[in-house]
Amino acid sequence: MVRFANWYDYIDTSAGGGHPTLAEFTHQTGVQVDYTELFADADQPIGLIAAPLAVGREPGYDLIVTADWVLAEFLEHGWAAELSPQVLSQAWRLLPRFRSWPIPGLPHYALPWQGGFTGIGYNPTLTRRPVTSMTELLTAPDLHGRVSLVSDMRDVMGLLLLDQGSDPASFTDHEFDTALATLRHAITAGQVRLVSNDYIVALAKGTIAAGVAWSGDILRARQLNPALGFAWPKGGGMLWTDNMMIPALTPARTNAERLMNFYYQPHVAAQLAVYNRFICPVLGAQAAMRQFDPGLAAERYIFPSPELLDSGHNFKILNRVLATRYTTAFQGAVGL
């Protein structure tokens, strides 16, 4: 048995509610998977998984998917099990760009489940043009009251820092506060209508004209509205990973490693990418994708070039004091 906790709607799902790749894993190995859509917010693993680990208790899950910055916190406190190279025989397939973020030698402790770009999504029926900068998004009169933001501080503030010429990986308090003032002004002026991670239906239907968006969301939403666009902002876009990690103290470490390894087989990674449509971090999956969906095999935001990956920016890893300060300030500005 493997107890696997993931984000909501983040795995291939059939019309009947099953998960074909998990069923294939069980068929191949005989190992059952107890799959739970546990997380709706990036902070939740800290409370649900880290809290019991901090007092020496087994957390109730053998494998979790968590954001890169949360993974860094787990690693800092020794809450992640070190992986076994002899079991993780497919780990070499991890894209080079992701092998040292958020820590050097990442594959010793975790493997990315999916990666993603944060940029600007837009409905061209309403905007009649691509929206290509945060300045435009937060000030253009024709977008007034029809803008959305995701609720993740790092994604929104990362794009704002880039827009003003600051580096999200090495900004100062003053640079953050300057970017926050820009955001606060847009909120006060009524430019922003929605602050939520559930923005896709509003964008597809036209309630929202444009907003901060995740690449995979836009690609999936094109099934609702094929015209939706995703723009890489002029100032630069954000790059992130959600990572498979085995919590320390798990009683089923080997089976969890076998499941991780299973998802790094190219044909399995391609099956997952058909559904999720985020960055596939597995070398060889693009060739395998041609068997499932040749059109998606050519999609640059699922199988990006090294140059596109290198143009993505990571948000710097924060200590708990700074993370609390910045997150509290952001949430206060947007009314969360």
Lowest mean pLDDT among 6-20, 39-53, 128-142: 39-53
Q: Looking at residues 245-267, what average pLDDT do you find?
A: 97
Q: What percent of the chain has pLDDT over 90?
A: 97
- The CA-to-CA distance between both ends of the chain, in Å, stands at 39
- The pLDDT, as a whole number, for residue 190 is 98
Residue 247 has pLDDT above 90, yes or no: yes
Tokens of 42: 């990036």
Q: Looking at residues 114-139, what average pLDDT do you find?
A: 98
Residue 41 has pLDDT above 90, yes or no: no
Taking Cα atoms as reference points, which of 137, 121, 233 lies closest to residue 185?
Answer: 137
Taking Cα atoms as reference points, which of 184, 190, 204 lies closest to residue 147?
Answer: 190
pLDDT in tens, 100-116: 999 999 999 999 999 99
Residue 195 has pLDDT above 90, yes or no: yes
Amino acid at 238: M
| pLDDT confidence bin for 327, thresholds 50/70/90 | very high
Alpha carbon distance 194, 217 (integer Å): 16
Q: Looking at residues 116-144, what average pLDDT do you find?
A: 98
Residue 40 has pLDDT above 90, yes or no: no
Q: Looking at residues 229-257, what average pLDDT do you find?
A: 96
Burial of 105 (0-12, 13-18, 19+ CB in 10 A): exposed
User: Which CATH architecture describes the domain 117-238+314-334?
Assistant: 3-Layer(aba) Sandwich (3.40)
Phi-psi group of 164: left, alpha or beta (phi > 0 → left; psi -120 to 50 → alpha; rest → beta): alpha
Q: Looking at residues 31-51, what average pLDDT do you find?
A: 93
pLDDT in tens, 76-96: 999 999 999 999 999 999 999
Angle, CA of 15, 44 and 309, to the nearest 5° = 75
* pTM, to two decimals: 0.96
Q: Where in the chain is the domain with CATH 3.40.190.10?
A: 2-115+240-302, 117-238+314-334
- The pLDDT, as a whole number, for residue 211 is 98
| pLDDT confidence bin for 160, thresholds 50/70/90 | very high
| Cβ contact 229:154 at 8 Å | no
Residue 121 has pLDDT above 90, yes or no: yes
Q: Looking at residues 50-77, what average pLDDT do you find?
A: 95
| pLDDT confidence bin for 43, thresholds 50/70/90 | confident
Q: Looking at residues 319-323, what average pLDDT do you find?
A: 94
Q: What is the mean pLDDT of the chain?
A: 96
CATH fold label, 2-115+240-302: D-Maltodextrin-Binding Protein; domain 2 (3.40.190)
- The pLDDT, as a whole number, for residue 141 is 98
Taking Cα atoms as reference points, which of 335, 273, 267, 326 lies closest to residue 304?
Answer: 273
**Cα 289 from chain centroid (whole Å):** 21
